Amino acid sequence: AAAVRAYHEKVLDHYNKPRNVGSLPKNDPNVGTGLVGAPACGDVMKLQILVDDATGEIKEVKFKTFGCGSAIASSSFATEKIKGMTVWDAAKVKNTDIAKELSLPPVKLHCSMLAEDAIKSAVRDWEAKRAARQAAAGAAA
Ligand code: FES
Ligand code: FES
């Protein structure tokens, strides 16, 4: 119980009731998928965004995390934070912001790093898909 008390209640809330758990269709042209692992512990996080092609706004976010409570809480919190942002703003979200909001202890900083990496990776995937679409459209024109 002492260990549990050391955690901020916001972590426990996101851990007990994770938001936006699930998957989006990976092959949807407007979905970016990020899959990252934490070298420190081997935990894995998948985060997906559905993006409005015209505005870059993130309409939907889903995640699945095979990891510790802090990683689950970080990803749950991150999905709520980036929903409604543009992909470019979302890519600037820092793990230290997430860790601060959740009051993660220093030893758990890499768990929030996983969330930052997953967001960046999802944005990169969406951008790569979009670039390929634009190249295809250019080639067809
Ligand atoms: Fe990853 Fe704890 S080390 S679950
Ligand atoms: Fe590895 Fe949290 S202990 S992600």
> How many whole angstroms from 69 Cα to the centroid of ligand 1?
8
Burial class (CB in 10 A: 0-12, 13-18, 19+), 81: middle
What does the chain come to in residues?
141
Report the C-alpha gap between 40 and 95 in whole angstroms: 15
Report the C-alpha gap between 14 and 26 in whole angstroms: 25
The reported pLDDT for the residue numbered 43 is: 92
ipTM of this complex prediction, to 2 decimal places: 0.71
Catalytic residues: 41, 111
When pLDDT is averaged across residues 130-138 and rounded to a whole number, the result is: 91
Lookup: tokens for 113: 């790093």
pLDDT digit string (tens) for 42-95? 899 999 999 999 999 999 999 999 999 999 999 999 999 999 999 999 999 999
Lookup: tokens for 51: 């993006």
Asked if 49 and 61 touch (Cβ cutoff 8 Å), the reply is: yes
Q: Which of 55, 62, 65, 79 is nearest to 114 (CA)?
A: 65
The reported pLDDT for the residue numbered 1 is: 43
CATH code 3.90.1150.10 for 2-140: no
Ligand 1 pocket check for 93: Cβ under 6 Å: no
Pocket of ligand 2 from Cβ distances under 6 Å: 38, 41, 43, 67-68, 70-71, 108, 110-111, 114
Strand pairing partners for 34? 47
pTM of the shown model: 0.90
When pLDDT is averaged across residues 114-136 and rounded to a whole number, the result is: 96
Nearest atom (ligand 2) to Cα of 70: 2
